Amino acid sequence: MKSLYADQSVQATPPVIAATADSLPEQAGALARARAFAEPLLACESLDTGENILAHADAVATILKSIGGSEAMQAASYLVYACDHLNKPHEVISKGFGANFADLALETTKLVRVQRMARIAQNSASRTNVPMAQTAATQTESVRKMLLAFSRDLRVVMLRLASRLQTLRYYAHTKLPVPQGVASEALQVFAPLANRLGIWEIKWEMEDLSFRFLEPDTYKQVAKLLDEKRTERETSVENLRQQVAAELAKQGIHATVQGRPKHIYSIVKKMRGKSLGFEQVYDIRALRVVVPSVPDCYAALSWVHSQFVPVTDEFDDYIARPKANGYQSLHTVVRDTSGKPIEIQLRTQAMHDHAEHGVAAHWAYKEAGAKGYGGGVSATGAYDAKIAVLRQLLAWERDLSGEQGAGVFDDRIYVLTPDAAVVELPQGATAVDFAYSVHTNLGHRCRGARVDGAMVPLNTPLKNGQTVEVTAAKEGGPSRDWLNPELGFLASHRARAKVRAWFNALAMGETVAKGREAVERLLQREGKTSVKLEDLASQLGFNSADDLFEVVGKDEFSLRNIEIVLRPPEPVQTQDEVMQLKKPRASHNSGKGGVLVVGVDSLMTQLANCCKPAPPDLISGFVTRGKGVSVHRADCSNLRNMVTRSGDRVIDVAWGTEPNRSTAVYPVDVAVEAVDRQGLLRDISEVFAKEKMNVIGVQTQSVKGTAWMTFTVEVSESGRLTKVLSIVGELHGVRSARRR
């Protein structure tokens, strides 16, 4: 049998259904269909506890039903466990049951894995003699992660509570050894959560089972004390129950009177907390009186106090002052005719339902559609219910902090957005931190804030559970005051980094603008305003014009380098570069020199330094003033500019085919971009040497870890250069190698 968490690759297709993926979660027959869908996947699989997964899912669905969970919630219990046995769980479950179910299944599965990983880490720490304080801190961190997951969907809470209760029941039934982490986590995390949410039915049973596993001797001792006089106690409680019910009926108060179950863990807590003996615990004998209305509660209390002797200081009015989790009831302890104490609780039916099921009564807040759920919950009511539940979760966090030692949660707070999403922030965070946590752009434009509906200064520290609404400008940026720690606008390192990044970007923009202005002034001075800035930057070895402007703006790059590109020095003419022009022949491709100029004789020619043509490049000539014909590559940008100004001075030229052409060499420029590293220049030079290409000039520049290199090499024809450049391009770190 494989664990639920083992990697699985089972692929399944859900039964064909009429409902669409975006229909309401409460679909017709969802429970039966979900079980039928999950059964072939889960029937032969086991959890890591050893329990059959399908049996576990059946039990979880039953528990959810007992606390008021809808059929949709019960159906979800099967889909959650099927999730780990599907290749594409979200896609498959969405197709068969809707995206709502798929989101719930994935979220719950994710939470289970987080808990399991935290528990494994805790067990590993205990095996390696890590101090208990550190182990407790690991547990607390897992609780925090759980809290954040819970806050997104109350249904995840209910599924996890029901699942953990069933796991405890399974160990109790099979009498298998219980991992201490499972029992302690149930007692320290899940039971307090159930208590905070008011789900007493789960809370009591989970506490008793966990305590039974963690302290079996104490549990057996108290259970034995309860059993010793159980018959006598049950008889007296039953007689008293009948008496109270009959007398209240005579008073015209319709009441349901029941004996209240005894919970061993609560008895032990009371004995330890108040240093009491077993016989001094009052609620070993207890009655619960459920009446129609609040006035009936107080009328019944008045009758009880008139018929029995109240115990001083043992009366609590939780109707006038409800508990933090919303619990309401009247509690009193009286002595019967024999002088034995008995606790009596008085409440309305609505109070009783809330006491038993707590926020389970508010499933509707998540399952309601835009027009409200079928049970009559309006959109406003659903929102209020969600806020109430989230506040209980936040209060539960504070409960844990108190139980596990001060300072456990002191470094974090949890606040709510206007639509009740929970945002985690550092202690001392402000509305500005909140805005940056929601979205960077919202943080930049934050100008004001409301906390629980009231306007507050932006540097007001937020508190757990507050609802925060940010007022933002349509455009703009942060204030420099926010970076002043003495003013208290920011507590989050992440938010502070975003503010700094904004001002850094602003400064960079100013630097780039300064550099652009300097370059454009130079171009105007040189009469080169037609030069494309991107082309100029590329010639200088930069990726973009802004990169060039940045280094110029920082005074890290001399404008003299740009002047050299704009006004290249006249090359020293060699014998190979000076060729006599011959009369054209019929074929237009012969001559004693390397270049043939058509229609002109006895003119001096020179190869243009700006583009360095070489056979078999397409070429064109331009008649200069006093320096003969300058031969350019046909795609030369300088030639295009000259043609635009003086098109009548263009002359046709072609490479000649004289025998001395084979021995002539021509200088060409090669541009290389690479990651700057040691030995880069040597490696590239070796390639040219192996390919018998003479390097006659090298220019290198390194900017921010990138090397920009220009090699001038001699070639007999440019076509062979392509092969050499491909070899250079394969060298380590080389990004590009091209002819300029």
Q: Could you give the residue range(s) of every CATH 1.10.3210.10 domain in the chain?
A: 30-210
| pLDDT in the model for residue 282 | 53
d(CA 361, CA 8): 36
| pLDDT in the model for residue 27 | 59
Residue 537, CB-side half-sphere exposure with 13 Å CA sphere: 19
CA torsion through residues 588, 590, 594, 599, sign: negative
DSSP string, 336-400: -TTS-EEEEEEEEHHHHHHHHHGGGGGTHHHH--TT--TT---HHHHHHHHHHHHHHHHHHHHHH
| pLDDT in the model for residue 597 | 61
Among 150, 10, 164, 3, which Cα is nearest to 77's? Answer: 164
d(CA 739, CA 249): 105
Residue 84, CB-side half-sphere exposure with 13 Å CA sphere: 20
| pLDDT in the model for residue 522 | 87
Among 155, 204, 217, 161, which Cα is nearest to 185's? Answer: 161
| pLDDT in the model for residue 118 | 55
d(CA 165, CA 157): 12
Give the length of the chain: 740
At 520, the amino acid letter reads E
Question: The domain 666-739 belongs to what CATH superfamily?
Answer: ACT domain (3.30.70.260)
**Is 194 in contact with 325 (CB distance < 8 Å)?**
no
Phi-psi domain of 403 (left: phi exceeds 0; alpha: psi -120 through 50; beta: other): alpha
Strands 579-580 and 604-607: antiparallel
Q: Could you give the residue range(s) of every CATH 3.10.20.30 domain in the chain?
A: 412-491
Considering the segment(s) 224-362 as one domain, its CATH architecture is 2-Layer Sandwich (3.30)
d(CA 485, CA 430): 12
User: Across the strands, what pairs with 470?
Assistant: 449
**Is 358 in contact with 326 (CB distance < 8 Å)?**
yes
User: Across the strands, what pairs with 634?
Assistant: none
Q: 3-class SS at 615?
A: coil
Whether the bond between 216 and the residue before it is cis, its omega within 30 degrees of 0, is: no
| pLDDT in the model for residue 603 | 60
DSSP string, 60-96: HHHHHHHTT--HHHHHHHHHHHHGGG-SSHHHHHHHH
Q: Enter the CATH code of domain 30-210.
A: 1.10.3210.10
d(CA 670, CA 727): 13
| pLDDT in the model for residue 648 | 81
At 665, the amino acid letter reads V
Write the CB contacts of 268 (distance below 8 Å, at least 6 apart in sequence): 211, 218, 222
Backbone angles phi, psi at 94, to 5 degrees: -60, -40
DSSP tag of 232: H
Q: Could you give the residue range(s) of every CATH 3.30.460.10 domain in the chain?
A: 224-362
The helix (run of H) or strand (run of E) holding residue 176 is none
Backbone angles phi, psi at 419, to 5 degrees: -100, 20
d(CA 238, CA 260): 11
| pLDDT in the model for residue 354 | 76
Question: The domain 412-491 belongs to what CATH superfamily?
Answer: Beta-grasp domain (3.10.20.30)
The helix (run of H) or strand (run of E) holding residue 346 is strand 341-348
* Chunked mean pLDDT (size 10), the chain, 740 residues: 32 30 52 91 90 94 85 87 88 87 80 63 55 48 51 72 93 88 81 77 88 88 73 77 89 86 74 66 76 93 90 88 83 84 89 70 40 38 55 56 45 72 82 93 93 91 84 90 92 91 88 90 83 84 86 81 70 42 36 50 73 86 81 86 82 69 77 87 85 83 82 83 87 88
| pLDDT in the model for residue 113 | 67
Among 224, 221, 258, 226, which Cα is nearest to 242's? Answer: 258
**Is 243 in contact with 289 (CB distance < 8 Å)?**
no
